[in-house]
Amino acid sequence: MKRQMLLAAGLAVAATSLQADIIAPGDVVMSEYGEVMESLTGVPGDALRGREIMVSRGQGNCLACHAVTALEDQPWHGEVGPSLDGVATRWEEPALRGLLVNADAVFPDSIMPAFYKVSGFIRPGDGFTTNPAPADLQPILAAQEIEDVIAYLMTLTDY
């Protein structure tokens, strides 16, 4: 029993320290080129989970705008955004992180959503949010979900 309690306490401390490393949406630092150099969580992304997020219509929904040959088993690839084939050979992780956090910082006229931003715009949904954002407004994707999508994007080296 004592051993189980020590294990549970150790896991709780580990989970707390992981949680403490998450960069809040308002605290993300972008370079002058829109790159986010630092991981949002300090935890490597999971490429398999990133794939799930990309194809999920309720989460990333990346295929609504982008075509990805590696995801040809999924229906309804969009043509609004560029193909993501070979994206890992064109962009480095910090640039991809910046695009996911706030594409508008790199491409000011982009229609790509800011997946990790909660203020500085008016976002429809849940009764139409206001600017400034309510304190409890959550980004479209969580910090670890951003890292997971980046991990998957970094597997896309073929054209």
Domains belonging to the chain, first-starting first, are 2-153 (1.10.760.10)
Residues 6+ positions from 92 with CB-CB distance below 8 Å: 35
Q: Residue 118's pLDDT is what?
A: 87
Q: Residue 92's pLDDT is what?
A: 97
Angle of helix 93-102 relative to helix 143-153, nearest 10 degrees? 130
Which 3 state secondary structure label does DSSP give 153? helix
- One-letter amino acid at 76 equals W
Q: Residue 133's pLDDT is what?
A: 57
- Kindly write down the DSSP assignment for every residue of 88-107, as one continuous string: HHH--HHHHHHHHHHGGGTS
Q: Residue 1's pLDDT is what?
A: 54
CA distance 82 to 153: 13
Q: Residue 130's pLDDT is what?
A: 53
Q: Residue 138's pLDDT is what?
A: 87
- Tens of pLDDT, residues 113-159: 999 998 876 555 554 455 555 667 789 999 999 999 999 999 999 98
- Tens of pLDDT, residues 62-118: 999 999 999 999 999 999 999 999 999 999 999 999 999 999 999 999 999 999 998
Q: How many residues would you count in the chain? A: 159
